[in-house]
Structures are given as C-alpha cells and as structure tokens.
Structure 1
Amino acid sequence: MEKQRRSPPLNKVLAGVHRRLVLIAVSLASLALLTGSTMAMHEYLDRNLHLIAGTVAYTVEPAIIFQDMEAARDGTVSVASNEIVDRLIVVDPSGRELVNFEKPNESFLPRTVIEFANNLLWPQPVRQSITHNGRIVGEVYAFGSAVSIVYFLLSGLLITLCCVGIALLASTMLARKLRAGVTDPLSHAVEVARSVRVERAFDRRVPAPGIAEVDDFVEDFNALLSEMHGWYTGLTEQNEQLTRKAMHDTLTGLGNRALFDQQLGIAIAKADQSEGCFAVLFLDGDGFKQINDSHGHTAGDAVLMELASRLRGCIRKVDGAYRLGGDEFAIILASPVSKPEIDYIVERISEAMEPEIETPSGALVRISMSVGFSLYPDDGRASGELMQKADEAMYNHKSRKRNDDYAYSH
C-alpha cells in the first residue's frame, strides 16, 4: 500500500496516457471523415460540373447556330446558376468569347480565398465541345466553385475542435471507464469514418456509451455524419436531375438522341439474353418547315410539344419515345412485339396526327408523320443496321406519300 502511495496514482497515469490516445484517435477519425467526405463531395461536384457543361452545350447550340447571343446567354445563365459553378465561358471555333458568365461572390470569404480553392480543386476548366451535324460550332469552359466544400471544411473543423475538447474532458473525468466508455466508442468512430470514406456509408452512426461527456462527443460526431449524409443526398439528387437534363429534350420532355442510343444498346443486350425481338421506329414530320415559315418558331415549338404528347399516348408503358432533333422522332417498342402489333401502333400514330393543332396565335394546322421501322433481329443485330433500315423505311413511306399526293392533285 505504501509503494502504491509513493507511486503516481494509476488514474493519473491512465488519464495522461488516455488524454493523448483520445486526442490522436479523435484527430485521426475527424481527419479521415473530413478527407473522405471532401473527396466524395469533389467527385460528385466534378461529375455535376461535367453534366452542366454538357447541358449548356446542348442548350446554347441552337442559339449559336442562329447567332442569337441573347438566347445563348439566357440559356447559359439558366443552367449555370448553380452553386457548383464559378464561371462559365462559351466561345466560337476561333476562340472568340460569345458568353462569359461569372457568378457573383455572395459568401463571406474573400475572393482571393475562393479563387485559391477553385484553382486547387479544379486547376483546369471542364471543356465541352458544341457540335452541330458533326461539326464543332463552339466550346464551353466550366470553372468549378469550391465555396460549398470550403464551408463544409470550416464547419467540420469547428465541430472537430468541439469533439476534441469534449473527448479530452471525458478522458480526464472518466479514467476508470475509459476502456468501455471512451476507447471503444472512439475505435468505433474510426471504423465508421473509414466506412464512410471507403464505402460512402453515410447512414452509419456511433452508439452512445452512456457517459455524458462521451455521449456529447458521439452526438456531435453523429451530427457531423448527418450533415454529411445531407450533403451526399443533395448532391446525388442534383446529379440525377442534371443527368435527366442531359438525357432529355428540354422542349418536349422526351429522351434525346444520347438517351436513345443508350436505350437502344440496352434493348439489344436484353433481346440477346432473352432471344426476344423489339422494334425501332423512325418518324419525321411532313410539312413542319412550312408551319415554321408561315406561323413562326413559337408555333413550331407548340406543334412539336403536341406531337410528343400524341406519340406518348400511342405507345405502351414499356416503350420509349425520343426526339432526335427538329421534327425527327424515334420510338423503341420493347420486347416482345410482333409485326401486327407494330402495324397497329403505326396506325394509331397516323390516326393521332389527324386532329388539327392550335398554335399560340390561334391558327389551326395539321401535320402528318412519315413512319418507318426495323425489327430486331430480322433487320439486323447491330444498332447501326437497325437505324439504317428504319430510316430507309421512313423515307420510302415519305416518298410514297408524296407520289400519292402528286397523283391525287393531277
């Protein structure tokens, strides 16, 4: 007993050792969580920045073709007004700036700090070519904004400091319960932080051990996880929205050519596995140019939206309709489908086009559709073969209609 009195008390020795262990464990756990979360945020922000650049390129392409710079800027601002975009430039093939959009600094951070963080995370802008009929007509340069990541790091560091203070206090006051009440929860926190960094398991939480101070630390640690979970969910939803914008036509809401190409490849793969068959329909409006010339582009847009709505009503829920450009549309009739079913759907489309369409000015116009289709695998097993056969069939249908109209007029 006397030797024990002459020696330093065990609780003081443990308290000193445990304070250092707690400091290291909390620091490592926080560093791992912040590092992993920041990497995840940067990954999603970078992906969204690529999607924004692609969306801007798709949005401003008609405006550049028609030299409508006001429309190009409006299209750029509507897409680029996003917290992850710092600056967005649209140039023509010669390098001349057509649109230069820079987001105003609305944060409390100095502009020099923001620029340093932007250059650190995105040393080079995201570039996206603007093409029209296979020809490059411009280029989009998207510069990322690191404001959201800086905000998160600042809040994360503040919470980390609070966690460190609480953990040190708990280690001093609860030396006897250190192993069960502090060391184990912190080890669990490190394991959760590693799981978040490696597996993106933002829904995991550290259970409270039943000691007030450590419970406070766990609560703050879980609060940080909850905040990160919210960031992760928000970025995922934003990514899905941007993906939808990049894969759908902004006027009609139908899938665009990129989505059509993707779904056609998927349909071929599924048909190969199940030995089924599906059909590809190409559709082209008859006389759409005359409507545009006579009634204006506003009327043309209204006609396109009505055509898209009527096409949706003619197909099954499992089928997909797409706008390839202008008044060109495509439909993928999912497997299984037979020749009589295809003929029936084509007839439904023809009947759906008969009613007149009222334009915004009140004028009534009528438009028909030339339709051609190809059947997988009878007309080919490659996407190019199917598209070529459907395109040829569509133009044959258009030629027959012209000949019939000519014969009727004479």
Structure 2
Amino acid sequence: MRQPTPPVVPPRVPRPTLQSVLRRAHLRLAFVAVTMAAVSLILVAVIALRAYAGNNLNLLARSLGYTVEAALVFGDRIAAAEAIGMIANKEDVAEVIVTDGRGRPFAGWRSPVHSALARFEREVAAIALPGPATTPVLHDGIVVGYVEVRGQGRQLFGFLIGGVGGILACLAISVLGAYVSSQRLLRNIVAPLRALADVAHAVRRERAFELRVEPAAIAELNQLGDDFNALLDELEDWQNNLREENASLEHQANHDSLTGLPNRVQFESRLARALRDAAETGLRVAVLYLDCDRFKEINDCLGHEAGDAVLVGIAARVRTQLREADLVARLGGDEFAVMLAPMREASSAGRIAESLLASMAPTIVLPDGSTVTTTMSIGVALYPDHAADAIGLLRVADAAMYRAKRARPGSWQFAASVTGPA
C-alpha cells in the first residue's frame, strides 16, 4: 500500500512581540513629531529671517541712496564707489548697483567670492532671500538715480546649517530614547513632544519667540528640549540683532551723520505733524532758517576738518538755546532749520533768533587747536502768518534768511520783510 502523503505545513512566520510593536510605534511617533516640530521651526525661522532681511536690505538701500545722492548730482563716480564700498563691506551684502536717472550704470560694488563655500552661500541666498531691494535717489524731489542691493545670505546660510544639525541631533536623541523602554515611552514621550509641537506652532503662528520647552523626565527628550530651546535662543538673538540693525539703519536714514541732528526728511515730517496740531489748537509754529556766513571761507581756507568742526559746534550751540520740545535739523551743507512749536507770541521767535545769534559769538576750537569765529544769518517764518504748509514755511524762511544775509550778515529777519534787529 502506498503511504499517505503527509500534510504540507506552511512555514512558521515570526510574529513581532508587543514590546517591539510598541517600540516601533513610539519610534515612528517620535520621528514624525520631532521632524514636524523642527521643520516648522526652521520654516518659520527662514520666513522671519527672510522678512527681516528684506527690511534690512530696504533700509540699507535707503541709507546708500542718501550717501550717494551728492555723488550722483555732481557725477562723481569715484566718490560713489568709495561710499558704497565703505558701507557694504560692513553689511551682509553681495552686490550694490547704482544707476543714474536714466537707468545707466553709475557705480557698483560686489562682494568677492574666494571659495566654493562662498559660491554655495551666494546660490542659497539667491533662492531663499527676497529679490534685490531697489530705491530711488531723490534730490530736491527729482529722481537722480537708483540704488539696488542684493543680500549675501551668510547669516541665513549659517542658520540653515545649524538648523539641519539641530534636527539631526534631535532625531538621534529621540531614537535613543525610544529604545530605552516602550512603557516609559508610552507614558512620558507623548506629553513632551506635544509641548514641543505646541511651542513650534506658537512660534510659527504667533511669532512667540520667547516661549521655551519645559524640562522633561526622559533625559533624551530633555536634551531635545534643550536643543530646541537653544535654537529658539539663537533665533531670538538673530531677531533682536536684526531689529537693532534695522533701528540703526533707520536712524542713519533720518539723521545727519556728522552732527547727529535730524535730516531734512525727518524735519519736514515732524513739521507737518506740528502744523496739523497747530491747526487744531490755534497756536503758532515758527521756523527759523539758519545759514553760516563764513562757512565757505572756512572750508576753503582751513580745510574740510575745520568745516566739519564748525558745523558740529554750531549744532551744539543751537541745541543749547532751544526748549526740549523744539526741533533743530541740518538740512544740508551749512544750512540748519529750527522748529518752535507751539508758539503763543510771534515775538518769542525773535527773542530766540537773538539768542541764537548771540551764541555764535564765542570762538570755535578746531581740531588743530586753533580757533575761529563765525556768524549766522537767520530767516524766521510763522504759521499761519506766512505760509500754510511745511514746504511753504521753509521757502519763505529761506528767502528771509537771504534778505538778512544781504542786508547784514549776522542778523535775522521775519518773512514778509518784517526786519528784526541786527
């Protein structure tokens, strides 16, 4: 008889244990949560840095525009190139292009590329940073040229490298923690990761860079939180640095670099606000237009350093004669303007003009130790007596100053031919 064929027994498939299933599940959970949180933070950081970098480029372009304005007006390409080079060398800038009013190249500066790493930084900046910032250069309200600034991206590149390293470190720590104990992972990993994800969410949605992850019971997750907090610390520091740089550039854009006084743009803006307030209160606003009578002679005979010292001395003396609420600005060259607001009596402007003229009597000490004397001619205009807007007040005050200078240097006059004492 034939022997019966034994039944075919299928091969035994090994089945995973519950512990290994839990370990793999928690490992996947840790990997996904950490990756999402880290990627969200890096994405938010890049977006925030990109926005701040764009603002920084715009402010830098404006600052460069004020710097090269005179060079564009006088066609001095060498001075423009030197000026933008001095500023761009200190900033995270790849390229600066200055064109004249017709769009023709006028001057430029480009950061040198010495290595493959620098070239790679430039390529990353071209992708991640906003496009070049372009601003017109105005002179007396006329566009005389344009300034285009491209970012270098060194800070962004460094952050991306650090961010990728932080992500890898966080993932490595999470993997190690997942294998320690599946039960412990089940109890202790979910809450810390949820807190980390909540912080990343708050940073991404609300820009809450001051939030930090609380310490966790598991050492690896606690280290992950520390690394995450360290990234937040760096991001907060970069944000503060960018704010400080933006504030510095904004100050440069609105103040005269020699005397530290507000420039024409800020003066006209604050004067316009003061006129609006005066229109509501019915009070006067006075504008004094000051011009140094001997500045050209001093500058030509004694040199630019002496001329700068005279301008700084004049600015300091004018400030000491004014109230805290008053404003003094350097409009350009040897011309200054003072805003007195509010003014109840027109005669008060005349008294202040007299005190300003008297303050010029003492000699000014020059850098070489020698001294020089100078006088000022002043034109005074009142709102609403002589003009109804900021530009009109400056214009009639300027005309009164020239009348005073022609009549007698070192004197002052009201607008509309109301003459003050010499």
Instruction: Please classify the TM superposition score into its range, dividing by the shorter chain length.
Output: 0.7 to 0.9
RMSD of Structure 2 on Structure 1 (CA) = 3.2
Q: 1:347 corresponds to which residue?
A: 354
Is this contact kept in 2: 1:202–1:229, CA < 8 A? yes
Secondary structure of the residue aligned to 1:89 is strand
User: Does the alignment pair 1:148 with 2:155?
Assistant: yes
Deviates further, 50-59 or 291-300: 291-300
Q: 1:366 corresponds to which residue?
A: 373
User: Does the alignment pair 1:72 with 2:101?
Assistant: no
Question: What is the alpha-carbon distance in structure 2 between the residues aligned to residue 69 and residue 225 of structure 1?
Answer: 44
Is this contact kept in 1: 2:357–2:410, CA < 8 A? no
Question: How do 1:126-137 and structure 2 match up within 5 A?
Answer: 126-137=133-144
Residue 247 of structure 2 aligns to which amino acid in structure 1? E
Q: Which among 386, 398, 401 is matched to residue 408 of structure 2?
A: 401
Q: 2:183 corresponds to which residue?
A: 176
User: Does the alignment pair 1:206 with 2:209?
Assistant: no
Residue 364 of structure 2 aligns to which amino acid in structure 1? I
Question: What is the alpha-carbon distance in structure 1 between the residues aligned to residue 105 and residue 358 of structure 2?
Answer: 48
Q: Cα–Cα, structure 1 residues 403 and 25, in superposed 2: closer, same or farther, change >3 Å?
A: closer
Cα shift at 1:163: 0.7
Is this contact kept in 2: 1:52–1:242, CA < 8 A? yes
Question: What is the alpha-carbon distance in structure 2 between the residues aligned to residue 155 and residue 58 of structure 1?
Answer: 36
Q: Which among 23, 26, 30 is matched to residue 31 of structure 2?
A: 23
Question: What is the alpha-carbon distance in structure 2 between the residues aligned to residue 148 and residue 222 of structure 1?
Answer: 19
Q: Cα–Cα, structure 1 residues 353 and 47, in superposed 2: closer, same or farther, change >3 Å?
A: same
**1:264-313 Cα deviation digits (max 9, x unpaired):** 24434555677765443322223433434444444333322221121122
Q: Percent identity?
A: 38
**1:330-355 Cα deviation digits (max 9, x unpaired):** 12334476545433322221111122
| TM-score (norm: length of structure 2) | 0.82
**1:193-230 Cα deviation digits (max 9, x unpaired):** 22222332222101012221111110111111111111
Cα shift at 1:92: 3.3
Is this contact kept in 2: 1:252–1:304, CA < 8 A? yes
Question: What is the alpha-carbon distance in structure 1 between the residues aligned to residue 133 and residue 365 of structure 2?
Answer: 43
Cα shift at 1:250: 1.6
Cα shift at 1:173: 2.3
Is this contact kept in 2: 1:88–1:141, CA < 8 A? yes
Q: 2:307 corresponds to which residue?
A: 300
Q: Which among 215, 218, 221 is matched to residue 225 of structure 2?
A: 218
Q: 2:62 corresponds to which residue?
A: 54
**1:117-175 Cα deviation digits (max 9, x unpaired):** 23224574322333333344333221111222111111101101111121232233243
Q: 2:92 corresponds to which residue?
A: 84
Is this contact kept in 2: 1:55–1:79, CA < 8 A? no
Q: 1:332 corresponds to which residue?
A: 339
Q: Which among 12, 19, 39 is matched to residue 47 of structure 2?
A: 39
Question: What is the alpha-carbon distance in structure 2 between the residues aligned to residue 181 and residue 376 of structure 1?
Answer: 72
Is this contact kept in 2: 1:61–1:132, CA < 8 A? yes
Secondary structure of the residue aligned to 2:217 is coil
Secondary structure of the residue aligned to 1:109 is helix
Q: 2:290 corresponds to which residue?
A: 283
Is this contact kept in 1: 2:268–2:391, CA < 8 A? no
Question: What is the alpha-carbon distance in structure 1 between the residues aligned to residue 169 and residue 343 of structure 2?
Answer: 61
Residue 221 of structure 1 aligns to which amino acid in structure 2? F
Residue 22 of structure 2 aligns to which amino acid in structure 1? L
Gaps of 5+ in 2: 1-13, 413-422
Secondary structure of the residue aligned to 2:117 is coil
Secondary structure of the residue aligned to 1:372 is strand
Deviates further, 223-232 or 253-262: 253-262
Q: Cα–Cα, structure 1 residues 376 and 182, in superposed 2: closer, same or farther, change >3 Å?
A: farther
Question: What is the alpha-carbon distance in structure 1 between the residues aligned to residue 251 and residue 51 of structure 2?
Answer: 19
Q: 2:242 corresponds to which residue?
A: 235
User: Does the alignment pair 1:105 with 2:121?
Assistant: no
Question: What is the alpha-carbon distance in structure 2 between the residues aligned to residue 61 and residue 388 of structure 1?
Answer: 22
Is this contact kept in 2: 1:314–1:349, CA < 8 A? yes
Cα shift at 1:403: 12
Deviates further, 306-315 or 390-399: 390-399
Question: What is the alpha-carbon distance in structure 2 between the residues aligned to residue 141 and residue 273 of structure 1?
Answer: 42
Q: 2:6 corresponds to which residue?
A: none
**1:221-255 Cα deviation digits (max 9, x unpaired):** 11111111111111111111111111111222211
Cα shift at 1:374: 4.1
Residue 286 of structure 1 aligns to which amino acid in structure 2? D
Q: Cα–Cα, structure 1 residues 277 and 40, in superposed 2: closer, same or farther, change >3 Å?
A: farther
Question: What is the alpha-carbon distance in structure 2 between the residues aligned to residue 70 and residue 305 of structure 1?
Answer: 27
Question: What is the alpha-carbon distance in structure 2 between the residues aligned to residue 266 and residue 107 of structure 1?
Answer: 52
Is this contact kept in 2: 1:284–1:328, CA < 8 A? yes
Question: What is the alpha-carbon distance in structure 2 between the residues aligned to residue 207 and residue 296 of structure 1?
Answer: 63
| TM-score (norm: length of structure 1) | 0.85
Q: Cα–Cα, structure 1 residues 404 and 221, in superposed 2: closer, same or farther, change >3 Å?
A: closer
Deviates further, 248-257 or 214-223: 248-257
Q: How many residues align?
A: 399
Secondary structure of the residue aligned to 1:252 is coil
Gaps of 5+ in 1: 1-5, 406-410
Question: What is the alpha-carbon distance in structure 1 between the residues aligned to residue 238 and residue 102 of structure 2?
Answer: 40
Question: What is the alpha-carbon distance in structure 2 between the residues aligned to residue 342 and residue 404 of structure 1?
Answer: 14
Q: 1:157 corresponds to which residue?
A: 164
Is this contact kept in 2: 1:357–1:364, CA < 8 A? yes
Cα shift at 1:189: 1.7
Q: Cα–Cα, structure 1 residues 139 and 264, in superposed 2: closer, same or farther, change >3 Å?
A: same
Question: What is the alpha-carbon distance in structure 2 between the residues aligned to residue 187 and residue 376 of structure 1?
Answer: 63
Q: 1:3 corresponds to which residue?
A: none
